[in-house]
Structure 1
């Protein structure tokens, strides 16, 4: 693989995993049983989900026929197969679970870096390029890492890696409408986000009538459904943009329930 964009996101995926690994490596076995903001999921569930999805990604990248069987399982139980994977992994001893996650991350890195230029892998939705698969894994690593950080009360410093999460969130706009049975707006939105270093991340035409603006971190928390919009400093201009902020999601699958607002009276 020689695509510069794919190499860049793979580097960022690696770094995101290392940052989360440093956090969980310092936890006690008791900490792994702590509840996270995701209902019914402990820290063990969060890492088990990441390990399980890395394993699915590796299978998709290395054995398309075998992965097709996993897709059939998902289609047979679309509302529960993700939770079932996390539940099974969470039952493993902490050391075994941590090794599974670490080994899977490394194997996936190798498989994606060695993939031929232009290859597309099967997935639960449309086929994915190397860059798309790596970006999806980074988004999930960051989002589930946020749940873990919230569970143990550790603040995280936002990084420029959030650009990948924000981009998925913007690109998933029409999916967020469609998965709820709504027609997607016909026009592009303008999204202007302020990155962690004060830089502007802009998407869509400058003259768009429908606009969203605010901190990149807040947008990423919104589209990964880690915070309610009423707790975030995001602004919408236009009815369609306003509706989007109520339903946005960057992840595939059924519409998420989201998080309840922390702000009283919201």
Structure 2
């Protein structure tokens, strides 16, 4: 029988059905391979001259060197202080080019998603434009609160505002802030015929601060996470109610009383959106969490509300002796008078001419006596009493007295 050279043979004259195991090198008598020495298999640095190593620093900082080149550079950095300093600067520059992305959602994302959806299928009952900012800011705050534990709900928060040109503050907790927002939003709820969150509790005066203090005093225990549900339900009811009735201009102009003053419903909803954002920032600061300003469109509406209120505030401050007296020349209603140009930069920006001598006067570029420039979010924080008024303006030119009066008037818009 001729043996098949490709079939294993077991010595019996027949090819083996299963291949025989290979002999171990230890059974053959052949010498064993030498054991691996320490360091064998690691990258060995190249022997390169100093100029070549220096030219490789940029590629090394970008992690673009070959392994042998990187090893040579790193060995050299331990011996050459000049190259080590240069390598550190290059690494820092690379870190700036590769900034880590925030895990927080863009505050404008919700608006963009809703607009995209509504373009395809318009809502049967749309939210009025003047209530959209309140809808967005309450939703953002609710999302911030969603994962709070007991420690976060009891984190201390200091509410800040200005009274008679003096900084004032009041200490509470995150839960206390939500209770404050709920009781002040209750002024809008009452105007719309909804339930008052104070219930049977009676406030000394129908002002935001008096209502808040009454709610806090009436609670048997400090507010806890349980306040979130009634606050959220109230915000939904407000948005739902103004959506059913807000398409009517007369309804949007319905007055909402704040005790010392009143606002039309459309401005009151914008005011509540503004305060919701400001206090959401207070809460985020208390728990050390980032929180972005509103979208540019909503921020613009908030700035516009504050700018429209400034002439009346200036007049009230003038009557109480807190602002410089107006010019002796009287300005008739609707006529142009001395004006300050308020320029808001960045998101939500624009320009407003603020009449200085009478709320009934008309802002006029021809009668401009001063010009103030601020960032949009910074101006809103000034109006919230969170920024010292005389340190707020990024740029100012013209009548210093007029500038001072307007900045202080903006800060006096704030309240608890």
With structure 2 as the length reference, what TM-score do the two structures score? 0.51
Structure 2 spans left out of the alignment, 5+ residues: 1-126, 160-169, 328-337, 354-363
Kindly tell me: are residues 78 and 25 of structure 1, through their superposed partners in 2, closer, same or farther at Cα, counting changes over 3 Å?
A: closer
Give the drift of 1:122: 3.7
Structure 1 residues 42 and 93 mapped into 2: Cα distance closer, same or farther (>3 Å)? Answer: closer
Range with greater deviation from structure 2 (52-61 or 216-225): 52-61
Q: 1:143 aligns with which of 278, 284, 288?
A: 278
User: Using the alignment, how far apart are the partners of 2:209 and 2:264 within structure 1?
Assistant: 26
Deviation at 1:18, TM superposition (A): 0.9
Deviation of 1:129 (Å): 2.8
> In the alignment, which residue of structure 2 is the partner of 1:104?
234
| Higher percent of residues as helix | 1
Q: Does 1:23 align with 2:162?
A: no
Which stretches in structure 1 are left out of the alignment for 5+ residues?
A: 1-5, 257-266
Q: How many aligned residue pairs are there?
A: 242
1:71, 1:122 → 2: CA distance?
19
Q: Which residue of 47, 54, 73 maps to 2:185? A: 54
- Could you tell me which residue of structure 1 aligns to residue 288 of structure 2? 153
Which of these residues, 96, 105, 117, is aligned with residue 249 of structure 2? Answer: 117
1:219 maps to what in 2? 379
State the distance in 1 between where 2:153 and 2:339 align.
43
Which has the higher Rg, Structure 1 or Structure 2?
2
Q: Which has the higher contact order (CA 8 A, sep 6+)?
A: 1
CA displacement at 1:8 relative to structure 2: 1.4
Change (3 A) 1:192 1:152: same
- Secondary structure of 2:344 counterpart: strand
- Alpha-carbon displacement from aligned partner over 1:110-158 (angstroms, at most 9, x marks no partner): 2222224313134125543331121111111111112112212222222
Secondary structure of residue in 2 paired with 1:62: coil
User: 2:390·2:408 contact (CA, 8 Å) conserved in 1?
Assistant: no
Is contact 2:341–2:351 with CA below 8 Å preserved after alignment? yes
TM-score normalised to the size of structure 1? 0.77
Question: Structure 1 residues 11-20 or 164-173, which shifts more?
Answer: 164-173
- Which among 276, 299, 302 is matched to residue 162 of structure 1? 299
- CA distance in 2 between counterparts of 1:72 and 1:33 reads 25
1:252 and 1:224 mapped to 2: Cα distance? 5
The corresponding residue for 1:259 is none
Deviations 1:193-217 (A, max 9, x none): 0132xx6411114442122212111
Matched, 1:173 2:173: no
Q: Where does residue 248 of structure 1 map in the other structure? A: 410
Q: CA RMSD in A?
A: 3.2
Give the Cα–Cα distance (whole angstroms) in 2 for the partners of residues 174 and 87 of structure 1: 36
Larger strand proportion of the pair: 2
Post-superposition shift, 1:191? 0.6
How many angstroms does 1:63 deviate by? 6.6
